Structure 1
Amino acid sequence: MKDIYFSLEKNFEALVALATKVLGNSITFILACCLVLFWWINTLLNSTNLHQNIGDFIFGTTFLSLFIIQKSFNKYSALLHLKVNELISSHETANNSVIDTHKKTEHEIIELSKEYIETDEVTEEIIEELTNKMNEANTDNQI
């Protein structure tokens, strides 16, 4: 059952990645713009209802905004991934498994984050232990 779930999750994430690329593509925006312009021209010529024309204009503009926002998000996301990957690869002790995490499934990302949580807990324990030792040393020095 678990294998089926992970298989479905991988397929869904691949579909989402494809949809993100398609919606953020310039050619898709041009096609959508042509479609909206055709729709507006037909509506203006065939309808005399001003409220419907205004609603159609707002709806068409909103529809085109989807493609513009997705394009800018794709660019921002790619730049952010590039910068983070550069920082990770330039640091010798960094865990290189976090490079290209945008290609990993949600389950893989959760597993990676668990490793960091465990590391943070160990670090907190070490810091607490060192703090206790320093407090003991300071107490001994004051006597």
Structure 2
Amino acid sequence: MKKAKESLFERFSTKITCWTGSSTAFGIAFTVILIWGITGPIFHYSDTWQLIINTGTTIVTFLMVFLIQKSQNKDSKAIQLKLNELIAASRYASNRMVDIEDLTELELDVLHKYYQELSDKAERDQDIHRSHSIDKAKNLAEEKDQLRESQKKKVD
């Protein structure tokens, strides 16, 4: 029963979200506002006249927030899954990037800085086909550390 309710809500929210993004829905909303504006002088711009549009738009906005959020959550999850599949399928991509949407904002900022450095490094390279990744950079850093240690031992 719960699955049927979720499925019904999902189908309903998808259809409503698609319809409200249409030209027809915009035209209807514009027409309602136009009619409301035209009737202002007839009702002497009364408090009731203003209350009707305020209440109507508040109710519609309140409900649309939840419908749009539901639709965005579904779209976001689908995009994340598609990106995860591309990362998993790519021989050169770091699998550490799968499911990074679960990281904290601070952790994402650290990753962003690191990728900015990789981007800067890629710009300086003459070969546009050269790959830079977290794993490759880590391996290179480890190799450099080992080289430094071996050179240090030779000096001592």
Partners of 1:89 and 1:95 in 2: CA distance: 8
1:109 aligns with 108
1:6 aligns with none
1:95 aligns with 94
Partners of 2:114 and 2:95 in 1: CA distance: 13
Partners of 1:55 and 1:119 in 2: CA distance: 51
Q: Aligned pairs, how many?
A: 85
**Are 2:28 and 1:51 aligned?**
no
TM-score, normalised to structure 1, is 0.51
1:118 CA displacement: 1.7
State the superposition RMSD in angstroms. 2.7
After TM superposition, what 4+ stretches of structure 1 lie above 3 angstroms from structure 2?
none
1:74 aligns with 73
Larger Rg: 2
For residues 51 and 125 of structure 1, do their structure 2 counterparts lie closer, same or farther at Cα, with a shift above 3 Å needed?
closer
1:123 CA displacement: 2.2
Identity value in percent: 35
Partners of 2:118 and 2:52 in 1: CA distance: 59
1:126 aligns with 125
In proportion to residue count, which structure has more helix? 1
Partners of 2:120 and 2:53 in 1: CA distance: 58
Higher RCO by CA contacts (8 Å cutoff, separation 6 or greater): 1
Read off the aligned partner of 1:106 and give its amino acid letter.
Answer: E
For residues 98 and 51 of structure 1, do their structure 2 counterparts lie closer, same or farther at Cα, with a shift above 3 Å needed?
same
Structure 2: stretches of 5+ with no match in the other structure = 1-8, 11-46, 128-156
Partners of 2:102 and 2:80 in 1: CA distance: 11
2:13 aligns with none
Structure 1: stretches of 5+ with no match in the other structure = 1-25, 28-47, 129-143
1:117 CA displacement: 1.8
Partners of 1:57 and 1:124 in 2: CA distance: 54
Partners of 1:85 and 1:98 in 2: CA distance: 8
